Structure 1
Amino acid sequence: MAGVFDIDLESEEVSDTELCCRRSSGQTEEVELTSESVNRDSERVGPDCFELLTVLGKGAYGKVFQVRKVQGSQTGKIFAMKVLRKAKIVCNAKDTAHTRAEREILEKVRHPFIVDLLYAFQTGGKLYLILECLSGGELFMQLEKEGIFMEDTACFYLGEITMALGHLHSNGIIYRDLKPENIMLCQQGHIKLTDFGLSKESIHDGSITHTFCGTIEYMAPEILTRSGHNRAVDWWSLGALMHDMLTGSPPFTAENRKKTIDKILKCKVNLPPYLTADARDMIKKLLKKNPAQRLGSGKGDAADIQKHPFFRHTSWEELLNKRVEPPYKPQLHSEEDVSQFDTRFTRQTPVDSPDDSRLSHSAELAFAGFSFVAPSVLESLKEGFSFEPRSRHIRRHNSSPRTPISPLKFSPAGPFKSSMDGEPDLFSPTSPPAARPPVPLENGAASQPIKTPSRNKKKKDHRR
């Protein structure tokens, strides 16, 4: 994995200035391993390389800022900077694992419809992720504005999402938290998947995992029954999302979580008569309770879904290369426009407060290998590089609160490797607040993991 050095956590002493021996012409030479000697061709970045512009989100463990790069490569470019406090993260095993998994996967995957990680670095007390700034906001907000999507609009978004999920699956990654809040829109209106804290790596053909996680309204039956699951759970979630887009809510909702789970396990999906035959057929095939019968569960994976008649007018090559005009383009006046984000945050003064806290030696090892510079950025150091509604009633009036289930467990088996199996189940019955519902913790407290941008909602009956 580029940019990550595995460190033996069993050793008593690990130092950034550790000496190694190099043999040359029968002689031994001591070479000091420092960031300067190891990363001579890499760009070294830190908080001082970025100017804070606007607060985009805020949670219990840190903030997300819109920032401008003011030093080095890509000076003047706009990014999103996610800042997390180490001391608060390491207090909870699941939050540590969430951060580890997200950082690991964001480095591994590169796809037009998955958010790009450009830099990752750390200070004594904080972790920093520099991501592309997705100025279009959440797909959730667009759904709220429209109420429901027309089928051609849903077809566009579902097509891009299908290709993103297919790319993850081809890399042995299952996403496990597909929902409108985790789908962002770029400045041109194309989708980008974000938030990989519940994702699982190394799930290839024949592999299964038993982790109980996800968001209740989009969770597949095999996760709820803990019978073992694989990448087919993402196709169930795609069916639930498709139903959400075309009808205004996921297929199975109730006044509480237990009843929602009962519906997912026992009830048949009811589809409104205005849906076309192709849309009805695809939803039904994606929402097969038996994963072996579910569309996309075979060896073809995403390719089987792409062949469905619902996508008969889709040119996949054109879609992948972003040559299909998005149905909605965010109305943005500049790169710094934050009109698609919650004003409760954008009106705040952007301040990255100092944090001089120091962790124990063992706690610091949890963040070994965090620093990262994207290969595209490294190439730019040599060659130069540049980045380039209908009025409807508000919906979701009868939906239940969305319940994030975060099963993450920290294992110090290796620097920044996710370990998500074998952890205890997590299912908290606590009621969500009016704003963004909390992620339950083992001690019954509630955390507010920050997103890019914020996913806090104003309405009391919004689901999570």
Structure 2
Amino acid sequence: MSFILGEGGFAKVLLVEHVATKRSYALKILKKESITTSRGIERILLEKRVAFAVADHPFIVDIHATFQSEYHLFFLMEHVAGGCLKTYLQREGAFEQPRAMFYAACTLMAISYLHENDIIHRDLKPENLLLDSGGYVKLADFGLSKDGIGYEGRTSSLKGSFGYMAPEILAREPYSRSVDWWSLGIVIYEMLVGERPMLRPSTGLVVPMFLAGDAVNLISGLLQRDPLKRLGSSEEDACDLMHHYFFRSIDWMALIERKVQPPFIPEDVRLSEDGDQHLVLTPPSEGSLAMEKEIVEAFRSFDYTAICSGPEYYSDCICTKNDGLLPKFNEEKKMSAMNS
């Protein structure tokens, strides 16, 4: 029996298990027939490229491999069992400042690593911040990310989630990596207050009286409408935030080494009531039984690409307790470096 961790219009995320080690992974499955445009193809290839570029960071969800069957693409990822911050905010309303500060610090370091690699995330929100079994936050989902954007780089695509998008994105103006810091400001406010801020052009940011002054100052700096004045917009990027008084109690070296005691340890929710115990891989429609040549060629790099981080050979050993639904690869398959 398999377990669906999440499901969207074009993808499912499935809990899978390594046959030999019994280690759990998350397997993202996409239907090729739903990817019908050149832009859609590039989006998937970009997601793969970004995921491999930032792999093996303590606060970013790891990717282990990509592969494909005739009709599906697969991303084999780290299973982060603690659930997303949105779930905890819905359950608890808001977090005490030390807890919000800890989650914000982990997220800051993840975003900083993306920016060091000339990548902007563009979809920072509580749903994409997952708690691992140790209580640390891990940043997920690079489906809307953009690479090749350094300090002076600009892009103009309308990408993101409404409510977390910087005003320059909504205005369809060229924007920089500082849009991620705007989104972090929204997330920090939401963690402390329990809802997103009211942002009116006439009055600016309205904050409740109970917020501490250091939190108000940080959020105000991050939610600066002028991207050139926004906290984190300088070439120093994340360092501008790390030196802020809000984070005065954070030992950044200890945090990156995961030596800081998290304020909350989640239960293992991988088999919670929220999941779906029944897997159905939708068969392709009759009109798409023969994949377009462009699709086949575009995804040739998905034949098998992996990061070798240990003795496990993932493609030989992945199962879903639902035999026959996912491809099994023979022992001659060797792990290769990313080629896309």
> Is 1:160 matched up with 2:92?
no
How much has 1:337 moved relative to structure 2? 4.0
Q: Residue type matched to 2:78 in 1? A: E
State how far apart, in whole Å, the 1-side matches of 2:3 and 2:151 are.
44
Q: Please give the alpha-carbon distance, in whole angstroms, between the structure 1 residues aligned to 2:51 and 2:253.
A: 24
**Structure 1: gaps (5+ residues):** 1-51, 254-262, 382-414, 418-464
| Partner secondary structure for residue 178 of structure 1 | coil
Q: CA deviation at 1:247?
A: 1.1
Amino acid at match of 1:305: L
TM superposition score normalised by structure 1:
0.63
SS in 2 for 1:218: coil
Query: Structure 2 unaligned runs (5+)?
Result: 314-337
Distance 2:248 2:147 in 1: 32
Shift of 1:308: 0.1
- Equivalents in 2 of 1:327, 1:175: separation in Å? 26
TM-score (norm 2): 0.85
2: distance between equivalents of 1:179 and 1:294? 19
Query: Residue 9 of structure 2 aligns with which residue?
Result: 60
Alignment partner of 1:279 is 2:215: yes
User: What code does the residue aligned with 2:44 have?
Assistant: T
In 2 relative to 1, CA 60–293 (structure 1 residues): closer, same or farther, beyond 3 Å? Answer: closer
Residue 81 of structure 1 aligns to a residue in which SS?
strand
User: For residue 320 of structure 1, what is the aligned residue in structure 2?
Assistant: 256
- Determine the structure 2 residue equivalent to 1:289: 225
Choose the corresponding residue for 1:98, options 32, 40, 43.
43
1:124 aligns with 2:65: no
Does the CA-based 8 Å contact 1:124-1:357 persist in structure 2?
no
| Partner Cα separation in structure 1 for residue 279 and residue 114 of structure 2 | 34
CA contact 1:81–1:128 (8 Å) conserved in 2? yes
Which structure's CA Rg is the greater one?
A: 1
Show the 5 A alignment for 1:308-347.
Answer: 308-332=244-268, 337-339=270-272, 342-343=274-275, 345=276
Q: Which string of whole-angstrom CA distances, capped at 9 and with x for unpartnered residues, describes residues 18-54 of structure 1?
A: xxxxxxxxxxxxxxxxxxxxxxxxxxxxxxxxxx631
TM-fit CA distance, 1:97: 3.4
2:293 to 358, 361, 384: 361
Mapped pair 1:374 → 2:303: no
How far does the alpha carbon of each residue in 1:225-270 deviate from its partner, in whole angstroms, 9 at most, with x for none? 22211111111111111111111111137xxxxxxxxx3x554001
CA separation in 2, counterparts of 1:216 and 1:252? 13
Alpha-carbon distance in structure 2 between the residues aligned to 1:380 and 1:366: 28
What SS does structure 2 have at the residue aligned with 1:140? Answer: helix
Distance 1:353 1:197, change over 3 A: closer
Give SS of 2:12's match.
Answer: strand
Describe the SS at the equivalent of 2:174.
coil
Q: What does residue 108 of structure 1 align with? A: 53
CA distance in structure 1 between the aligned counterparts of 2:104 and 2:162, rounded to whole angstroms: 20
Q: Is structure 2 residue 14 aligned with structure 1 residue 69?
A: no
Q: What is the correspondence of 1:209-358 to structure 2 with a 5 Å cutoff?
A: 209-252=155-198, 263=200, 265-332=201-268, 337-339=270-272, 342-343=274-275, 345=276, 348-352=277-281, 357-358=289-290
Match of 2:327 in 1: none
Question: Would the aligned equivalents of 1:125 and 1:358 in 2 still touch at CA under 8 Å?
Answer: no
Q: Aligned-pair distance for 1:321?
A: 1.2
- Please report how far the alpha carbon of residue 119 of structure 1 lies from its aligned counterpart in structure 2 after TM superposition: 1.2
Q: What is the rounded CA distance, in whole Å, between the counterparts of 2:92 and 2:237 in structure 1?
A: 31
Residues 345-383 of structure 1: per-residue CA shift (max 9 Å, x gap) = 2xx323446669331212211212123111314x667xx
Query: Structure 1: which 4+ aligned runs deviate by more than 6 Å?
Result: none
Query: SS at the partner of 2:16?
Result: strand
2:322: which partner in 1?
none
The SS at the match of 2:189 is helix
Whether the 8 Å CA contact 1:217–1:252 is kept in 2: the answer is: no
Per the TM alignment, residue 95 of structure 1 is displaced from its structure 2 partner at its CA by: 3.9
Say yes or no: does 1:145 pair with 2:85. no
What whole-Å deviation, never above 9, does each CA across 1:52-102 have from its counterpart, x for those lacking one? 63122223334221111226xxx421111111111122x245543332221
Name the CA distance, whole Å, in 2 between partners of 1:297 and 1:281: 16
Using the TM superposition, give the Cα deviation of residue 117 of structure 1 relative to its aligned residue in structure 2, in angstroms.
Answer: 0.6
Counterpart CA distance in 1 for 2:7 and 2:220 is 38
State the partner residue of 1:174.
120
Cα deviation for residue 105 of structure 1 reads 0.7
Task: Report the Cα distance in structure 1 between the residues aligned to 2:229 and 2:51, rounded to whole angstroms.
Answer: 31
Q: Is the 8 Å Cα contact of residues 135 and 187 (structure 1) preserved in structure 2?
A: yes
Q: Which amino acid aligns with 1:187?
A: S
Q: Whole-Å Cα distance in 1 between the matches of residues 291 and 339 of structure 2?
A: 17
In structure 1, give the amino acid aligned to 2:204.
K
Deviation at 1:140, TM superposition (A): 0.4
Contact 2:198–2:206 (8 Å) recurs in 1: no
SS class of match (1:214): coil
